[in-house]
Amino acid sequence: MYNYWNSRTRGLSPYVPGEQPGDKKYIKLNTNENPYPPSPKVIEAIRNAAGERLRLYPDPTCQELREAIAQTYRVKPEQVFTGNGSDEVLAFVFAGFFGPDPAYPLLFPDITYSFYPVYGNLWNIPFRAVPVTEDFSINPKDYQTSSGGIIFPNPNAPTGKALPFQAIQEILICQEKQGRIVVIDEAYAAFGGESAVPHIMEHPNLLTIHTLSKSASLAGLRVGFAIGNEALIEGLCRIRDSFNSYTLDRLALAGAVAAVLDVSYYREINRKVIVTRERVTKALTQDLDFDVLPSEANFIFIRSSRQRGAELFAALREQGILVRHFNKPRTADFLRVSIGTDEEMDIFLNVLGKGAMKLTLKS
């Protein structure tokens, strides 16, 4: 029945998300979820919203949530756009601000969030993947050139490496002169990186993208948002309102408002994630002979000096630990490991320690 597909559908190469196994037997370190539960206030707000009013459509403008975000991030509600996970916000960004001139390709790193080329293909946007440096850094100079716009995560994924705002500023200034937008995907900024949000007033071409999936422990709720100049936000609203007026349901809106306002709860759990990340990084490099890229995210990108990435991925899976392996030339020997609880990470280190011992004995 594939002949019912149109040429657009035939031409797609969809994104493949990390596995979500149905059983509980795995330690899940593969999709950068937060290992700690959402704030109790979020659960309470969703319970309160699960009532008779579900009969009614939700607020299409998401006003209350935009006000809560504005308050927490010290911006104006008109500078905030909300959507069904940051993936949806990103899909709208690609549709609204990039392409179609092949002389001016969208630029993003060759090692980055693998949804970007998928959106590029979906919307027929010419793009060029810019190689990250030998040590997997984004070189800001590479993005000070003519382009059809720029997008990258800061910290980058799956490397975890972050740029200071000063480096991003150079790119913003250069691209503004050419009338191009710079989109900074801050999915992981709560884990140590420097956010660009305080600079949206100085740079009308700066758009930052955020998600409640990682730092707010709400991957299951599907809420993301963008912060930037009012005109950029209006552009995103035009795209959304030509697609689906109600991208966020009443339960998601209620939970998201509570999450965004409970700053102290999340500061505390994310601090714990950072402490665990540093401890695991130290153990991997000092005791287990791994290379670990310096991470400012809730995951680490690691390479064993003894085992290939694919082998190690399979061995960990066998032991009930799921991580992520990106089987591309530059990343094939690495694994991306989300930071779990201390208990989970101890099991992970233990399994690696035993594996390394076996290999040492063999050689």
- List interacting residues with ligand PMP (CB under 6 A): 85-87, 113, 153, 157, 185, 187, 211, 213, 219, 224
CB of 193 to ligand PMP, least distance (A): 12
CB of 211 to ligand PMP, least distance (A): 3
What angle, 0 to 180 degrees and rounded to 10, lies between the N-to-C axes of helices 230-240 and 85-97? 100
Which is nearer to ligand PMP, 223 or 345 (by Cβ)? 223
Which is nearer to ligand PMP, 89 or 254 (by Cβ)? 89
DSSP string, 308-348: -HHHHHHHHHHTTEE-B---STTTTTEEEEE---HHHHHHH
Which is nearer to ligand PMP, 226 or 284 (by Cβ)? 226
The residue assigned the tokens 């063999």 is 362
Which is nearer to ligand PMP, 185 or 194 (by Cβ)? 185
User: What's the number of CA atoms in the CB half-sphere (13 Å) around residue 238?
Assistant: 10
CB of 77 to ligand PMP, least distance (A): 20
Contacts of 127 (CB under 8 A, 6+ apart): 98, 105, 106, 107, 108, 116, 117, 120, 148
CB of 128 to ligand PMP, least distance (A): 19
Per DSSP, which regions of 87-174 are E strands? 106-109, 127-130, 150-153
Which is nearer to ligand PMP, 187 or 352 (by Cβ)? 187
- End-to-end CA, the chain: 54
Bridging pattern class, strands 299-304 and 290-292: antiparallel
Bridging pattern class, strands 321-322 and 27-28: parallel
CB of 218 to ligand PMP, least distance (A): 9
Check: CB of residue 325 under 8 Å from CB of residue 310: yes
| Cα-based distances in Å from 11 to 90, 108, 272, 341 | 20, 21, 44, 41
User: CA triplet 295, 282, 357: central angle to 5 degrees?
Assistant: 120
Which is nearer to ligand PMP, 219 or 273 (by Cβ)? 219
Q: Which residues of 199-215 are buried (b: 16+ CB within 10 A; e: fewer)?
A: ebeebebbbbbbbbbbb
CB of 70 to ligand PMP, least distance (A): 19
CB of 91 to ligand PMP, least distance (A): 10
CB of 132 to ligand PMP, least distance (A): 14
Record the tokens describing residue 131, joined without a space.
Answer: 């190689």
Integer Cα distance of 301 and 292 in angstroms: 6
Which is nearer to ligand PMP, 11 or 220 (by Cβ)? 220
Which is nearer to ligand PMP, 90 or 200 (by Cβ)? 90
